């Protein structure tokens, strides 16, 4: 199950890329799927005029963002840590309170042998 973390700016996605990819998840490396999703969202954001893209994240990945991204983080001179963490916090609070339908889009993801994925939305 994944949750849509609303829109992230390119700078917020750079923060995820720079901090989270360099840290481990409870003693284990992040998997390539997570890295690929970060890169895909970043490239998508860089390719749009408003420099934003959505990214699907699991609850565990949201906790990792909360743990790794410093609130005072900047990209260049642009402060991004607090804005990114605020988005993460809002989604985590809704998930933990059992209000995950309002937190984001629940999706089931399937992967084929080529590594491409398909998604189907499920209604509750």
- Tell how far CA 29 is from the center of its chain: 17
The pLDDT profile of the chain, 124 residues, written as one tens digit per residue, is: 666 667 899 999 999 888 776 765 555 666 678 888 889 999 999 999 999 999 988 888 888 889 888 899 888 888 999 999 999 999 999 888 886 554 444 444 433 443 434 443 433 3
Q: Which H helix or E strand runs over 9?
A: strand 3-9
Buried b (16+ CB within 10 A) or exposed e, 71-93: eebebeeeebbebbbebbeebbe
| 115 phi/psi in degrees, rounded to 5 | 95, -5
Cα 92 from Cα 116, distance rounded (Å): 27
Cα 120 from Cα 38, distance rounded (Å): 20
Q: Which two tokens stand for residue 19?
A: 């901090």
pTM over 0.85: no
Cα 8 from Cα 11, distance rounded (Å): 8
């Amino acid at each position: 199950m994944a949750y849509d973390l609303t829109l992230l700016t390119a700078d917020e996605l750079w923060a995820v890329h720079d901090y989270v990819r360099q840290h481990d998840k409870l003693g284990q490396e992040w998997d390539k799927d997570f890295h690929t999703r970060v890169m895909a969202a970043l490239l998508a954001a860089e390719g749009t005029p408003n420099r934003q893209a959505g990214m699907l994240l699991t609850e565990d990945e949201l906790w990792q963002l909360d743990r790794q991204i410093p609130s005072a983080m900047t990209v260049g001179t642009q402060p991004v840590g607090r804005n990114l963490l605020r988005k993460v916090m809002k989604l985590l609070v809704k998930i933990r309170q059992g209000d995950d339908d309002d937190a984001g889009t629940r999706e089931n993801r399937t992967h084929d042998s080529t590594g491409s994925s398909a998604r189907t939305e499920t209604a509750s």
